[in-house]
Structure 1
Amino acid sequence: MRRLRCPYCGAVFEVPKGAVYAVCPYCGTTVVAKTGEEATRQYYYPPRLDDGEAFLLAVSRARMLPGAPADIAETASLARSELHYLPLYICSAEAWVEGCEGAREEREETWLATSRLPLPGLEHGYRFPVVGREPYDPRRARRGVFHQPDASPEPRCSALRARVEYRAAGEARLAGCRGSVESRAGLVGVAHYPVWLIEYHHPLAGQPLRAVVDAVDANLLYLEYPIPLERRALVLGGAALVLGTGLAAAAAVGLAAGSLAASILGGLVGSAVAASPLLATGLSRTGRYRYRPPRVERLFIKG
């Protein structure tokens, strides 16, 4: 670790020696770790939700989850809230083909600038928005917990550059052009992204439950919720129904194909996989939801 002094507020803090950028944990100012100077381009995303709105969003979504109490929005109460600012890298890349006017590709991407996931719900590569950022000003940003960027931006910027080069070359082939691919890429800046960590009480839980809510796009990233005994029984009944239906279908297929044992074994494995989330929920007193990005169908065009 090495010690840095914030050029804005004067606070002294420690950062890893190999860090490219550092964030002052007191005012959020981004500092170039090698020189200790303030970074020229730093941004933040203004929060659109306050902690009360984030709490209501979380408990309202909880009612739709398997096993959750139907009246959770009415019986839960906010206990504590904490605004976390996650560090993001913003990279821009551009590629073009000489002599081919239509073969040009530009793209900008954001990603989490730390290798350690500071909050649950980010395990599946949560996509942060590119638009909506503003120049960072410590006097305007709300107080919160600022996390350190400990990763280098170079690998992801290089990967983005390779992707736009590939797309520009493909556009040139479709247009019947030949020429060399030129490109440039670089780090646009470092941004702070606000996420609420919520703790709330519920009569069925012996300890506070947690929720993580995107304060900009209003997405529920993570939620712990209580499961009443009668709801656990219903969920386990649903899991049994999934297992029974899968085995019955496998047996019917096996009888028709003349391979009953293999079909039943395959049906058992498939049904167990399908029913495992329900089984885990039904056997636990606390349910857990984690955000998963929606599946996007990709269209491939052969050129």
Structure 2
Amino acid sequence: MVEIVEKVNCPSCGAPLKIKAGEIVVTCEYCGTAVNLKAERSFVLRHSIIPNKYSKEEIEKLVRSWMRAGFAMPENVARKARFEQVRLVHLPFYVVTAHAVTKYQGVFTRTGRPRDVEDTIAKDYQWTVLGRRVSQFPEREYKIPLSGKSSFDLSLVQGEFLNAELDEGDAEEKGRAEIEFHQNYLAKEKADHITESMTTIDVKGCEFLHAPVWFIDYEYNGKVYHVLMDGATGEVIRGDIPVEESRFPWIWILAILVVFFVLLVIVL
């Protein structure tokens, strides 16, 4: 049983909030108000939700279709796979909207003939930050379908529901750091050695919302594999692919050929 660590009433309806250890932004289970508890005085946070559109049975069918369509999938995985868990969770996210500009200087050496590089990278971002501190969730691979969002409504919540362990300030700070890291990564794609770099980030807003994600575990040939699926679009966010020993060398040979071809194009 999860311990309730603090007693605070909802500022909107007066009902007691159920607060678990580590939670900072808590949604009232009676009226749906999102309350930030980190400040000296709790305050209401604007809150949206993206509804789930799929049943458990529909998700299982979509996963099997993904298995059949996968290039590297064993031929019989869609038929032999057995679902061990199909679980819907509404996860807390922040979407940090920002404009970033990176000015850099460096040296391009990968062609064997060094040359100086100077450029500016300017990009607009809607950067996804998961509102939980400890998680292996692939934030960069998940494109939140913001077009399907609406004002938060408890009647749209299905399955499990997690409160946030980060508030807006935490999410903005994390988003800034990750955007800057990404900008530097883009610069290093154009220069092998960066000699000077400066990044400015203008955060336009930070939106709090809950989105539906299906967590699927399936068993195949005695091993358990995992799939994450977007409950709003039915698209696979990330999925484990079983690799049969007989296919393993061919996959690596193909990967090596692709890398060789890319390097050849760059050199030419």
> What is the TM-score normalised by the length of structure 1?
0.53
Question: Counterpart of 2:245 in structure 1: which amino acid?
Answer: R
Map 1:189-208 → 2, pairs under 5 A: 189-202=207-220, 204-206=221-223, 208=224
| 1:43 Cα offset (Å) | 1.0
- Percent identity, please: 18
Deviation at 1:192, TM superposition (A): 0.1
**In structure 2, C-alpha distance between the alignment counterparts of 1:156 and 1:59, rounded to whole Å:** 36
Q: Is the 8 A contact 1:84 1:196 kept in 2?
A: yes
Asked if the contact 2:6/2:19 (under 8 Å) is kept, the reply is yes
Alignment of 1:32 with 2:50, yes or no, is: no
Q: In structure 2, how many angstroms separate the alpha carbons of the residues matched to 1:135 and 1:242? A: 45
Secondary structure in structure 2 of the residue aligned to 1:236: helix
CA contact (8 A) 1:6 1:29 kept: no
Aligned to 1:23: 26
What 5-or-longer segments of structure 1 have no aligned partner?
A: 95-106, 160-182, 247-269, 275-303
Aligned equivalent of 1:138:
154
**CA shift at 1:61, angstroms?**
1.8
Residue 129 to residue 156, structure 1, CA distance change in 2 (3 Å): farther
Structure with larger Rg: 1
CA RMSD of aligned residues (A): 4.0
Aligned to 1:139, what secondary structure does the other structure show? helix
Matched residue, 1:47: 52
Higher relative contact order, structure no. (Cα contacts within 8 Å, ≥ 6 residues apart): 2
Distance 1:126 1:80 in 2: 21
Structure 1 residues 233 and 26: CA distance shift in structure 2, 3 A: farther
Could you tell me how far 1:242 is from its partner in structure 2?
A: 6.6
Task: Describe the SS at the equivalent of 2:166.
Answer: coil
Partner of 2:102: none
Question: 1:62 maps to which residue?
Answer: 67
Contact 1:67 1:235 in 2 (8 A): no
State the shift of 1:240 in Å: 4.5
Q: 1:215 to 1:84 in 2, by over 3 A?
A: same
Structure 1 runs, 4 residues or longer, greater than 6 Å off: 25-28, 156-159
Higher strand share: 2
Show the counterpart of 1:5. Answer: 8
Alignment partner of 2:59: what SS? helix
Letter in 1 for 2:19: F
Q: By how many angstroms is 1:214 displaced?
A: 0.9
How far is the alpha carbon of 1:85 from its aligned partner?
1.8
